């Protein structure tokens, strides 16, 4: 399945090279140029079909406590071009096979005044450009501290943008849609709901940043392979429309500690005049290293339910008792505590979820709040921290595991670190071994709260390294990781596919905290999902949260049909049916789609797409000839028109269509849906109405 085509052109010179170096994509639609300015400052630009994507932009790094930064005074001493083409098979994914095809330009620079070497490597794909800085082993550059990376992205206009305000600790915002020139005035409003309030600049935004130009180009800025480096934000010079990288600082204000040889992450620009091509891009994955886990047979996509939504809505609690810390308790004997009567992770309740999973064919059950310590985790008491192995007295670890095994259901562990990452690292081996001893193959980890002990930012180099350490350590124990509140993904799941999911964005839980914008899920695939799958936790059928907890007046801004469609449009090999079993029992005919929909795919087709407005996706279940379609709609009612030409010719299929009813309304009548069946072939066309925050889901099963 692999084939390679390698061609190399090396240019050596005894004198500095002054001319620009051009590179075209394999299909010739993208063209970039590298050049040095008169003062030796490296620059690049990028065009798509002769339209400017990135105007001339500067490259380089500012160093701390150094008389000369890596910004200018360079000459080119070598250029090398290479073509690469291969097909590779992901362990799980949207496609069974991914093509990795690019043309590469590696430019070796010499800084004349310091005799330092810097390599800037460009890879130009049909769908975009990736480039990074490389620091070769050399005498005059061994250890250095980055004061700031000065990578620029000069925009060709005042584009429409879908953005999150710059924040070093959270991505859990609703997206703001505006012109680039409006970011400054809108940033304050965008941060009012956030608990962190660490926006670094009135024009700072997070990646992945999605934009649309007036001349019809879709442009996405992000990074790939974020390893041993600080997360990149973007700061906008809104007078000149130039973004510049802005790295997350550590507690001391430093942006990165580098030892040569080494390299930065890839800076990525995905571009097309068709929004569907942005969604279909696999450039971020392709810029990551191949899988480093030799035996991946234990890594399996998971569809699960769990003791979670009832805590999120306030119906039940994570904590076993309300006494701590006002009454000091024995840290290993919570049997002395008075139960609060609301603890969700009790043996009887968990067994009900296990029974439900077994009855309806789910792979696993997640249980949060099973371990002691929740009484004061926000306060970070000196008397108690999580140890990740001690259960509350009403949670029978061995008994529950035996019961789950007898039902053919796997249990999913939960580790909330409360931001105390050093404590987690101290306990990690013991915690992972505890999981294996008790039959747990997957863990949901959490990092809510300030990072202890010295107030690190969640996305600084130090914490990025911790997240990576946790993934690699988990691989040693054959454990899959679903990290919440961690760094936004940058394609590392290719290298470590046991990173089976992340949160790292505003997920369904916020529907219980006041609600997400109605078009939120039409934006996330263009932004958050560029770097990897999200554990969005869809499938909420009861939109009125007060029916679960009278004290919570939030509403889910979605129709029921929209919730079904998310299992297709929000790609993830880790999918939760997040609502309570009793709510699914009220709508078992609609629940059937969640039971049927696949979580690992042979092929994916993006049928319709416009960020913020609508999205329709068709996916073929791996190992079958069955397809599933999902459509999510934004703020305006719309009629979707799709063709079934992705189906195999000559085959007949039975399609079951779950759609918004005519009177469906996400505010007043969200549970109004219709289900109808029709025979389809690859010649079938479908017109289907989706209401605001609505959509439809279709299962297409081959007739035998």
Average of per-residue pLDDT across 531-544: 98
CB neighbour burial string for 53-85, b if at least 16 within 10 angstroms, e if fewer: bbbebbbbbebeeeeebbbbbbbbbbbbbbebe
Q: What are the two backbone dihedrals, phi and then psi, of residue 651, each rounded to the nearest 5 degrees?
A: -100, 150
Q: What is the pLDDT of residue 331?
A: 56
Residues 556 and 671: beta-carbon distance below 8 Å: no
pLDDT band at 200 (very low <50, low <70, confident <90, very high): confident
Residues 682 and 651: beta-carbon distance below 8 Å: yes
Residue 66 counted as domain residue? yes
Residue 621 counted as domain residue? no
Average of per-residue pLDDT across 163-186: 95
Give the tokens for residue 298. Answer: 């234990």
Residues 224 and 491: beta-carbon distance below 8 Å: yes
Lowest mean pLDDT among 168-172, 409-413, 593-597: 168-172
Q: What is the pLDDT of residue 373?
A: 85
Q: What is the pLDDT of residue 332?
A: 59
Q: Which residues are catalytic?
A: 509
Q: What is the pLDDT of residue 375?
A: 81
Residue 417 counted as domain residue? no
The Cα 255–Cα 235 span in angstroms is: 15
Residue 257 counted as domain residue? yes
Q: How many domains does the chain have?
A: 1
pLDDT at residue 38 tops 80: yes
pLDDT at residue 244 tops 80: yes
Predicted TM-score of the model (pTM): 0.95
Q: Give the tens place of pLDDT for each residue, 367-379.
A: 999 998 888 664 4
The Cα 366–Cα 414 span in angstroms is: 7
pLDDT band at 190 (very low <50, low <70, confident <90, very high): low
Residue 616 counted as domain residue? no
pLDDT at residue 351 tops 80: yes
Cis status of the peptide bond prior to 72, with omega within 30 of 0: no
pLDDT at residue 383 tops 90: no
Residue 526 counted as domain residue? no
Average of per-residue pLDDT across 177-206: 79
Q: What is the pLDDT of residue 198?
A: 58
Average of per-residue pLDDT across 570-584: 98
Average of per-residue pLDDT across 333-349: 90
In sequence order, what are the beta bridge partners of 653?
680, 702
pLDDT at residue 318 tops 50: yes
Average of per-residue pLDDT across 616-621: 98
Q: What is the pLDDT of residue 329?
A: 55
CA dihedral 677, 678, 679, 683 (to 10 degrees): -140
CA 258 vs. chain centroid, Å, equals: 26
pLDDT at residue 173 tops 50: yes
Residue 139 CB partners (closer than 8 Å, separation 6+):
115
| CATH number of the domain within which 76 lies | 2.70.98.10
The Cα 661–Cα 670 span in angstroms is: 9
Average of per-residue pLDDT across 337-349: 95
Report the relative pairing of strands 266-272 and 42-48 from DSSP bridges.
unpaired
pLDDT band at 386 (very low <50, low <70, confident <90, very high): confident
Residue 390 counted as domain residue? no
What domain range is 56 assigned to? 8-286
pLDDT at residue 93 tops 90: yes
Q: What is the pLDDT of residue 112?
A: 95
Q: What is the DSSP letter of 663?
A: T
Residue 692 CB partners (closer than 8 Å, separation 6+):
518, 633, 634, 635, 636, 637, 665, 666
Residue 661 counted as domain residue? no
Residues 559 and 674: beta-carbon distance below 8 Å: no
Quote the Cα angle for 667-672-678, to 5°. 140
pLDDT band at 326 (very low <50, low <70, confident <90, very high): low
Q: What is the pLDDT of residue 343?
A: 97
- Shortest CA distance to 688 belongs to which of 536, 680, 575? 680
What rounded mean pLDDT belongs to the chain? 93
């Amino acid at each position: 399945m692999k084939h390679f085509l390698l061609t190399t052109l090396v240019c050596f010179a005894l004198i500095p090279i002054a001319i620009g170096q051009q590179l075209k994509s394999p299909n010739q639609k993208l063209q970039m140029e590298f050049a040095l300015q008169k003062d030796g400052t490296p620059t690049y630009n990028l065009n798509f079909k002769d339209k400017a994507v990135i105007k001339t932009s500067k490259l380089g790094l500012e160093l701390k406590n150094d008389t000369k930064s890596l910004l200018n005074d360079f000459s080119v001493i070598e250029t090398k071009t290479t073509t690469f083409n291969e097909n590779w098979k992901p362990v799980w994914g949207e496609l069974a096979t991914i093509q990795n095809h690019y043309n590469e330009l590696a430019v070796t620079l010499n800084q004349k005044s310091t005799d330092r070497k810097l390599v800037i490597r460009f890879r130009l794909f049909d769908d975009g450009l990736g480039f990074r800085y490389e620091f070769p082993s050399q005498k005059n550059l061994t250890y250095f501290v980055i004061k700031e990376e000065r990578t620029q992205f000069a925009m060709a206009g005042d584009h429409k943008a879908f953005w999150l305000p710059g924040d070093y600790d959270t991505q859990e915002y609703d997206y703001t849609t505006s012109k680039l020139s409006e970011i400054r005035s809108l940033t304050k409003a965008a941060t009012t709901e956030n608990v962190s309030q660490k926006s670094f600049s009135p024009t700072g935004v997070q990646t992945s940043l999605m934009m649309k130009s007036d001349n019809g180009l879709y442009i996405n800025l992000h990074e790939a392979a974020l390893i041993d480096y600080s997360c990149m934000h973007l700061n906008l010079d809104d007078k000149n429309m130039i973004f510049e990288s802005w790295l997350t600082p550590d507690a001391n204000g430093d942006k990165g500690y580098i030892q040569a040889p080494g390299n930065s992450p890839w800076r990525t620009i995905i571009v097309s005049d068709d929004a569907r091509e942005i969604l279909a891009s696999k450039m971020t994955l392709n810029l990551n290293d191949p899988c480093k886990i030799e035996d991946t047979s234990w890594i399996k996509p998971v569809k699960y339910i769990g003791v979670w939504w009832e805590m999120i809505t306030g119906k039940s609690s994570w904590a076993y008792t309300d006494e701590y810390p006002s009454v000091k308790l024995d840290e290993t004997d919570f049997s002395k505590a008075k139960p609060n009567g609301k603890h969700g992770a009790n043996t009887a309740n968990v067994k009900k979820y296990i029974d439900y999973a077994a009855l309806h064919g789910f792979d696993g059950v997640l249980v949060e709040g099973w371990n002691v310590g929740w009484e004061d985790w926000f306060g970070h008491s000196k008397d108690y921290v999580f140890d990740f192995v001690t259960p509350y007295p009403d949670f029978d670890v061995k008994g529950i595991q035996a019961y789950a095994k007898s039902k053919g259901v796997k249990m999913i562990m939960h580790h909330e670190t409360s931001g105390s990452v050093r404590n987690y690292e101290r306990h990690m081996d013991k915690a992972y071994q505890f999981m294996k001893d008790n039959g747990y193959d997957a863990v949901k980890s959490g990092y809510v709260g300030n990072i202890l002990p010295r107030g690190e930012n969640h996305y600084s180099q130090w914490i990025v390294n911790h997240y990576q350490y946790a993934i690699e350590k988990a691989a040693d124990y054959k454990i899959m990781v679903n990290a919440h509140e961690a760094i936004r993904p940058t394609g590392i799941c290719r290298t470590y596919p046991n990173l089976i999911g992340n949160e790292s964005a505003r997920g369904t839980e916020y529907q219980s905290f006041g609600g997400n914008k109605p078009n939120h899920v039409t934006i996330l695939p263009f932004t958050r999902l560029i770097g990897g799958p999200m554990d969005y936790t869809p499938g909420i059928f009861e939109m009125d949260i007060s029916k679960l907890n009278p004290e919570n007046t939030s509403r889910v801004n979605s129709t029921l049909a929209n919730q079904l469609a998310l299992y297709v449009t929000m790609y993830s090999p880790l999918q939760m049916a997040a609502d309570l079993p009793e709510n699914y029992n009220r709508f078992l005919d609609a629940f059937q789609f969640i039971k049927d929909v696949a979580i690992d795919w042979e092929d994916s087709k993006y049928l319709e797409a416009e960020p913020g407005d609508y999205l329709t996706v068709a996916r073929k279940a791996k190992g079958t000839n069955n397809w599933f379609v999902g459509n999510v709609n934004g703020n305006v009612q719309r009629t979707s028109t799709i063709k079934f030409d992705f189906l195999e010719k000559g085959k007949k299929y039975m399609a079951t269509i779950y759609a918004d009813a005519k009177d469906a309304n996400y505010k007043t009548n969200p549970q109004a849906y219709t289900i109808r069946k029709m025979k389809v072939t690859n010649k079938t066309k479908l017109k289907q109405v989706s209401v605001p925050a609505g959509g439809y889901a279709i299962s297409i099963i081959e007739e035998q």
